[in-house]
Amino acid sequence: MPNAKFLEEYQLYRKFDFPIKRDTKLLPISLNEFPKVNLNMYCPNCNNIRTFKFNYKYIHKKEKNLFIKNIDNHFQIKFDFSKTQRPSFPVLEENDIVNLNYICASCEDYYRFFAIKMGKGLKTIEKVGQFPAWDISIEKNLKKILKGYSEYYKKGKTCESQSYGIGAFAYYRRIIEDIIGELLELIPDLMNGEELEKYRVALEEVRKTNNTTNKIALVKDLLPPILKPEQFNPLKTIHDVLSTGIHGKTDEQCLEDAESIRTSLIFLVDAILSRKKGQQEYTESMKKILEKRRKKINKNEN
Ligand SMILES: [Zn+2]
C-alpha cells in the first residue's frame, strides 16, 4: 500500500498526495485499488532493519458502522451494524479510515499497524494512527555530537511526529546554532592539501562571527567530496533553509524544512564520524602491521 516512503517516514496528519485512479467515474473505488508495497523498517525482535510484508487491510467506516476485513483479497464483512444493503466489496469514500497491518518477513512475529484516513475528493491521504509510534529516538552518531542538546532533538522529533512543523523547525534551528561551530571544526580531519588550506582560512573567519548562517555561508562551498554525495550539499541545504527562516510559513512548509535540516544534520554527522572512525581503524591496523614487520626485521638481524 500506497507508497513505502509515506508509510515509513511520514508523520501523523501530514498530507500525502495520493489521487486514486479509477477506470470510470461511474464505478465506485474499491479497497483493492490501494497498491500493496513492502516496507523496510526496524524490527525489535530481529534488532535490525527488516522487510515488512503487507498482511491485511480493512476499512473502518465510522458513520455507517461497517467494518470490512480483507484477507488475501477475499473480502469478508465482519460486522454490519447498519443492516442496510451494502455492496459486497468495500468502497472507499472520503473520511474512511483504512487500517493496514504489516508483519516482519524475517521473524514473522512483529507487527506494525497504520491507520490511513482518506482525504477530500480521495486526492490525499494522511496517517491518523500508527503502532509502534513514530520513532523519536536519537541516531547513535548524532547522540555523540549532541550531548547536552539531545533534549532539543527529542522535542524536535516529538513535534515532527505530530506534524507541528513550526515547533520542530525552531528546535532543530536551535541545535544547529548551538553545535555548528564544533561540527565545522571536525571537517578539516577529512581534508588535505590545497582543499584543507582553503578551508582553514575560512574557518578562521568562522571563529570570528556569531551568526549561524554567516558561519555556514563561509564554508558551505568548501566541503570535501565525501560530504557532498551526488551534488547534495548538506551545509548548503541547512543554510538555505535557515536563511529563509520561519516567518509567514505554515506548519506544513516548516515541516518540510525541519525534515531537511534533520536529514542533512544526520548525514553530516554520520559522514564525519564514520570517516574519522575509519581513519582511526586504518591507522591502528597500519601500526600493528608496521610493528610486526619491525619485530620480524629485528629477529632476522639477530
Ligand atoms: Zn523481525
Q: Give residue 56 CA to ligand 1 midpoint distance, Å.
A: 17
Bridge partners, 59 (sequence order): 68, 98
Domain-wise residue ranges, the chain: 4-131, 140-281
The Cα–Cα gap between 146 and 155 comes to 13
Summarised one tens digit per residue, pLDDT across range 13-36 is 999 988 766 555 555 666 666 667
Q: Give residue 131 CA to ligand 1 midpoint distance, Å.
A: 15
Q: Give residue 137 CA to ligand 1 midpoint distance, Å.
A: 19
Q: What is the pLDDT of residue 160?
A: 93
Q: What is the pLDDT of residue 37?
A: 87
Q: What is the pLDDT of residue 30?
A: 67
Neighbours of 140 (CB within 10 A): 10
Q: What is the pLDDT of residue 59?
A: 65
Q: Give residue 70 CA to ligand 1 midpoint distance, Å.
A: 23
Closest residue by Cα to residue 176 from 201, 151, 212:
212
The Cα–Cα gap between 98 and 125 comes to 10
Q: Please identify every residue whose CB atom is under 5 Å from ligand 1, which is an ion.
A: 43, 45-46, 50, 104, 106-107, 110
Neighbours of 302 (CB within 10 A): 5
Please, are residues 263 and 157 in contact by the beta-carbon 8 Å criterion? no
CA distances from 46 to 101, 132, 140 (A): 18, 15, 18
Q: Give residue 135 CA to ligand 1 midpoint distance, Å.
A: 17
Q: Say which DSSP state 120 is in.
A: G
Q: What is the pLDDT of residue 263?
A: 92
Q: Give residue 104 CA to ligand 1 midpoint distance, Å.
A: 5
Neighbours of 265 (CB within 10 A): 24
Q: What are phi and psi of 61, to 5 degrees?
A: -105, 100
Neighbours of 152 (CB within 10 A): 18
Q: Give residue 44 CA to ligand 1 midpoint distance, Å.
A: 7
The Cα–Cα gap between 216 and 273 comes to 19
Bridge partners, 114 (sequence order): 100, 130
Considering just the CA atoms, what is the radius of gyration of the chain in Å?
26
**Residue 90: which H helix or E strand, with range?**
none
Q: What is the pLDDT of residue 219?
A: 94
Q: Give residue 154 CA to ligand 1 midpoint distance, Å.
A: 26
The Cα–Cα gap between 57 and 97 comes to 10
Q: What is the pLDDT of residue 26?
A: 52
Instruction: Let me know the angle formed at the C-alpha of 228 by 225 and 231, rounded to the nearest 5 degrees.
Output: 110
3-state class (DSSP) for residue 242 = helix
Q: What is the pLDDT of residue 2?
A: 64
CATH architecture of 140-281: Up-down Bundle (1.20)
**Tally of CA atoms within 13 A in the half-sphere of 281 that contains its CB:** 6
The Cα–Cα gap between 259 and 157 comes to 9
Given a cut of 70, the residues of the chain with pLDDT beneath it are: 1-2, 20-35, 57-90, 302
The Cα–Cα gap between 151 and 294 comes to 50
3-state class (DSSP) for residue 111 = strand
Q: Give residue 39 CA to ligand 1 midpoint distance, Å.
A: 12
Q: What is the pLDDT of residue 284?
A: 76
Strands (E), 23-110: 39-43, 48-61, 66-71, 74-80, 97-104
Q: Give residue 42 CA to ligand 1 midpoint distance, Å.
A: 8
Residue 87 grid coordinates: 455492496
Q: Give residue 1 CA to ligand 1 midpoint distance, Å.
A: 20
The Cα–Cα gap between 153 and 174 comes to 9
Q: Give residue 281 CA to ligand 1 midpoint distance, Å.
A: 31
